[in-house]
Structure 1
Amino acid sequence: MTPTYDDIEAAAARIAGLVRPVTVAPATTGANPLWFALEFLQFTGSFKARGAQNFVRAHAAAGTLPEAGVTIASGGNAGLACAWAARAAGVPATVFLPDTAPPVKIRRLRDYGADVRLIGPEYKQALAACQEFAATSGALAAHAYDHPLVAAGAGTLMREIHARVPDLDTVLVAVGGGGLFTGTAITAQHFGVNTIAVEPRTCCSLDAALTAGRPVQVTVDSIAADSLGAPNVSEMALAAAQQPGVRSVLVDDDTIRHARKQLWDEHRIAVEYGAATAMAALLDTGSGAAYRPADGERVCVILCGANTDPADLAS
């Protein structure tokens, strides 16, 4: 079931005081003002904290949070958020990751007290193992993106962005499985803001679903796959993408690399490749930008996560 804006308002009330309000910082001034939503400063290092808290707190309030805790399959960021929210609620978390997950995310998961299980090279194998574990252990199965409570929690970010820049025209958001995109697009439409969904060209489950008219399996092969590497987008995300005011664009991995380095070189912002994907849509690296704002268009780029090793940024 796709969440409504009322669900996002309810999520905002439920997680108030449990997540960090977003900072929206000007990146440029003048004829084409640009803002960065610095959501990588969120607890656990990504926007996923919002959906995880909404999911766990809603179940706790309903009395459906089991002693066996919660379990989730993730590329890393959703697992971090789930483990953090579970620890705050006093229940265990078992997190299934592909064995290709970045070491920095695995270390942080263990720091949160999660039982980390590395399964296979792709998210779909970790997901299958997670589902089997939930069925046999009694743990509550969370989802990295395909759940209305998760998407509604993510949508609280756009609600805060609009409060800080009420005359915003357009928001750019990176898309993996579609939880953040869904919440962002629903909230943006409520406020009359356009949404640009940005995906790596070789990891584009939303764009493929729009072409096919339904979610389809895609190949996941991108530098940003650890956070955007969902093999298929959710039905919720497809429904949100089919609404007015939404556009899908694709960017190359080289442009994502360039965007991540430019964010560091010019703004001293260190983010992961998934977050840099949204910024990449604005860069013209020789073949034209994937999205070129109109004169005077007021644009915000969501920088959604920073669970990365910054050692290579200065190279």
Structure 2
Amino acid sequence: MHQLTYGDIKAATDRIAGRVRPVTLAPVDPGAIRTAHRDPLDDREPEPCEVWLALEFMQHTGTFKARGAQNFIQAHRDAATLPDAGVTIASGGNAGLACAWAAQQQDVRATVFLPTTAPAVKLAKLRGYGADVRLVGAEYAEALAACEDFASATGALASHAYDHPLIAAGAGTLLEEIHQQIPGLDTLVVAVGGGGLFAGMATAAQHHGIRTVAVEPENCRALNSAIEAGRLVDVTVDSIAADSLGARRTSQMALHAAQQDGVHSVLVSDSEIVRARKALWDHRRIAVEHGASTALAALTSPDQHVPGRDLPSRPTAASRSYRPGNGEKIAVVLCGSNTDVRTLVDHSSES
């Protein structure tokens, strides 16, 4: 298995330059995020933490996944390994949309397999990107099997939602952009599903000496379970954020990245995810999906916490929140916005 390197991230950065939207950063109001309790022996002047929101939900197709999809297709085009049959993917979610968009940008055929239960709005978006949409079976596994059969029969290039080095490297380009805009960045806070975004960003962050906080819903914790077991394991998926973070198993790339220095695992409850999402809407009129607000929930959760500066260098048991240290500079990735905004206006639907 190819282990992701910083060289992969740099190559992806150069490859997709000008093909994706640069990330916009917005500062959080001073004092809005509580810091860790100060050590009484710490004689440094108190400094508020500095928190920035990385508004990656403004990316093409509404999520960071456009980066990986663009890198995947461009790399194969550069290597002259794009087949006439084009690319194919099984995904009724953000990865499918990103693959179809990137294929359209490169004038490449895209065949996307979805279960018959896929929402009509996503079908319309996929077709709007010019994809050949195939509805197969009632569950994702059936659509995936059909996608694999199609790739074998036609020679189409099979993409993946997260478990591919080109996909993860493309996602890692987001950290490069954030690092350029925030000199002295200390900490990256990012939600984890399958682990493509995490693997890419954590690999780049480690190169720059930046801590990574990996945030998962407490009942949707493929990466945290793998960290504890020391190997990939299947987990039960049961979270309000499962539509985007609901991977049953993380990738080997993500586990490898999580086992490096400076990575910390945080689990948050669904109620805190909902609360963070509502706060973004109430205070900023930012509408994100639950997967995106999962990252912010690590900073706003009132549960037990570990002081930011005193965390162990390697992840062990997850904490329930993350408290920044004195003067810490933090970037929180808001990774996607493919959501029903009516659930933000009508709070009763999530109570």
User: 2:207 maps to which residue?
Assistant: 190
- Tell me, yes or no, if structure 1 residue 214 matches structure 2 residue 231: yes
**Is 2:306 the counterpart of 1:305?**
no
2:256 to 239, 245, 249: 239
Match of 1:172 in 2: 189
| CA-to-aligned-CA distance 1:211-269 (integer Å, 9 cap, x gap) | 11111111122111111111110000000000000011111111111111111101111
Secondary structure of the corresponding residue to residue 28 of structure 2: strand
Residues in 1 aligned to 2:218 and 2:271: alpha-carbon distance in whole angstroms: 11
**One-letter amino acid of the counterpart of residue 237, structure 1:** A
Corresponding position of 1:69: 86
With over 3 angstroms needed to count, the CA separation of the structure-2 counterparts of 1:10 and 1:168, relative to structure 1, is: same
The TM-score with structure 2 as length reference comes to 0.86
Partner in structure 1 of residue 7 of structure 2: 6
C-alpha contact (below 8 Å) 1:102/1:226 kept by paired residues: no
1:139 maps to 2:156: yes
Q: Which residue of 1 aligns with 2:56?
A: 39
- CA distance, structure 1, for counterparts of residue 244 and residue 135 of structure 2: 16
Distance in structure 1 (CA, Å) of the matches to 2:116 and 2:237: 15
SS in 2 for 1:240: helix
Q: Does 1:265 align with 2:282?
A: yes
Change in CA separation of 1:200 and 1:40 when aligned onto 2, cut-off 3 Å: same
Q: 1:125 to 1:281 in 2, by over 3 A?
A: farther
CA contact (8 A) 2:268 2:301 kept: no
Q: What's the offset of the Cα at 1:58?
A: 0.6
How many Å separate the matches in 2 of 1:163 and 1:54? 20
RMSD: 1.7
The 1:213/1:126 distance shift into structure 2, 3 A limit, reads farther
Deviation, 1:127, is 2.6
2:322 matched residue in structure 1: 291
Q: CA deviation at 1:109?
A: 1.4
Whether the 8 Å contact between 1:36 and 1:303 is mirrored in structure 2 is yes
Residue 325 of structure 2 corresponds to residue 314 of structure 1: no
Q: Distance in 2 between matches of 1:75 and 1:213?
A: 30
Q: Any idea what SS the aligned residue of 1:313 has?
A: helix
**Gap regions ≥5 residues in structure 1:** none
Q: In the aligned structure 1, how far is the partner of 2:132 from the partner of 2:250? A: 27
TM-score (norm 1): 0.95
Question: Hey, what does 1:27 align to over in structure 2?
Answer: 28
Whether the aligned pair in 2 keeps the contact of 1:75 and 1:226 (CA below 8 Å) is no
Worse overlay, 81-90 or 23-32: 23-32
Aligned with 1:282: secondary structure?
Answer: helix
Contact 1:77/1:105 (<8 A) preserved: no
